[in-house]
Amino acid sequence: MAVFNESSIPDLVAGTLRHLGRMKFQQIAQNLIRYEVFTKWFKKDRVIVTGGLGIQRNLMVKHQSSARHVGWNEQDRSVVPDVIKQLFVGWRYMTDNWAMDYRELLIQSGPTVVLDIIKPRRASCMLSIAEELERKAWSCPAKANEVDPYGIPYWIVKNSATGFYGALPSDHDRIGGLTQEQAPKFKNYSGTYAAVTKAELIKKWRKMHRQTNFVSPVTIDDYRGEMGRTYRHYVNEDTISDIEDVGEAQNENLGRDLGKMDGQMTFKSNPIIHVPLLDEDSQNPVYSIDHSTWYPIVLKGLNLVEGETQKVPGQHFKYYIPVDLGYNYICIDRRLNGVLYKA
């Protein structure tokens, strides 16, 4: 039997984390089919920043509207416009941990004892985090809620009117700290559809894609940098199934809108992704999200960081390893995003 000194547990844990690949087991604990937020947004799309009381971005909400054609000897007119407003969201914090009991190490034996205990518990903790991230990303917190992040329904708001009518989320009088008077153009595209057919959803989706394709005539150093447009479309099971039927009805000749890539349906060559949590939305929404403008911002030093091994207060045999995340979601240009839903 291996002999362990309780004081060496932190070192054992740290050493074991470097060799988690040895142990094998089948995971059947997850509740959702896929976790887009954990596997894509926080690995591919997220931006890490250093410090700050919150997340702040400058928005040019209007231009000075002073250009004019003139005749000879026309007097100059000068303007000093106030065109910049500040978008602000506070940090949100999430925590979890995985634990072990010193007595487990004494009872079990063998060189892989720590690995056998740690790997499944750490995996369980990460699954818990993935689930919490997914659920909150597809929800909109109430105005008084200063704990949960601003998920997609906060930034991309449904409205039955067609066009840029996605204004304030329900129960809110501001979005990102801005009123509609301060930033009247800071709205997403919205609309409804009657059925998943080429004449209904596909046609309206095509229009939304075209209307949200803003191209600036002026070169500006913005927050998107060289990234370019990065669209993904999010739907529920009923909608993706109907979209597949539309594709099959066209005998794989899907035209310029629908397509397939590596077995996955696409719209305008961008992936259509089934989100299990959207199955709970009876309005069958179609979210078109430009991830160069909508993404998680993570506080450096709290990027799912695993802390030092600590004793559980009041339980001297138990140790836990905290996992912490500081972040929130932001949308720097709502006009490049949209949602359609079934009327």
Strands 294-299 and 47-49 turn out to be parallel
Q: Tell whether the model's pLDDT for residue 234 goes beyond 90.
A: yes
Q: How many Å apart are CA 295 and CA 328, to the nearest integer?
A: 9
- What pLDDT does residue 1 have? 40
Amino acid identity at 21: G
In this prediction, residues 198-210 reach a mean pLDDT of 96
Residue 201: C-alpha distances to residues 93, 252, 265, 342 (Å): 38, 18, 15, 9
Asked whether residue 35 falls in the same domain as residue 87, the answer is yes
Residue 139: C-alpha distances to residues 58, 119, 132, 171, 278 (Å): 25, 31, 11, 13, 10
pLDDT digits (tens, 9 = 90+) for 66-91: 888 989 999 888 888 888 999 999 99
Helix (H, G, I), strand (E, B) or coil at 223: coil
143 is a domain residue: no
Counting every residue, how long is the chain? 343
Residue 3: C-alpha distances to residues 6, 7, 113, 317, 338 (Å): 10, 12, 11, 16, 60
In this prediction, residues 105-111 reach a mean pLDDT of 66
146 is a domain residue: no
Q: Tell whether the model's pLDDT for residue 220 goes beyond 80.
A: no
57 is a domain residue: yes
Tokens of 1: 């039997």
Asked whether residue 206 falls in the same domain as residue 263, the answer is yes
Q: Tell whether the model's pLDDT for residue 144 goes beyond 90.
A: yes
Share of the chain above pLDDT 90, in %: 59
Q: Tell whether the model's pLDDT for residue 4 goes beyond 60.
A: no
pLDDT digits (tens, 9 = 90+) for 283-312: 999 999 999 999 999 999 999 999 988 899
Asked whether residue 242 falls in the same domain as residue 305, the answer is no
The contacts of residue 214 (CB under 8 Å, 6+ apart) are: 333, 335, 336
71 is a domain residue: no
Asked whether residue 165 falls in the same domain as residue 99, the answer is no
104 is a domain residue: yes
**Secondary element (H or E) of residue 97:** strand 92-101
267 is a domain residue: yes
The contacts of residue 220 (CB under 8 Å, 6+ apart) are: none
Q: Tell whether the model's pLDDT for residue 211 goes beyond 70.
A: yes
Asked whether residue 191 falls in the same domain as residue 286, the answer is yes
- Residue ranges making up the domain that contains 181: 156-294+335-342
Asked whether residue 164 falls in the same domain as residue 278, the answer is yes
Mean pLDDT over the full length of the chain: 87
- What is the number of structural domains in the chain? 2
Asked whether residue 119 falls in the same domain as residue 226, the answer is no
Q: Would you give the DSSP letter of residue 175? A: B
Q: Tell whether the model's pLDDT for residue 109 goes beyond 70.
A: no
Q: Tell whether the model's pLDDT for residue 193 goes beyond 90.
A: yes
Share of the chain above pLDDT 70, in %: 84
H helices then E strands: how many in the chain?
7, 16
Q: Tell whether the model's pLDDT for residue 252 goes beyond 70.
A: no
Asked whether residue 272 falls in the same domain as residue 313, the answer is no
Contact 167, 197 (CB under 8 A): no
149 is a domain residue: no
| pTM confidence score | 0.87
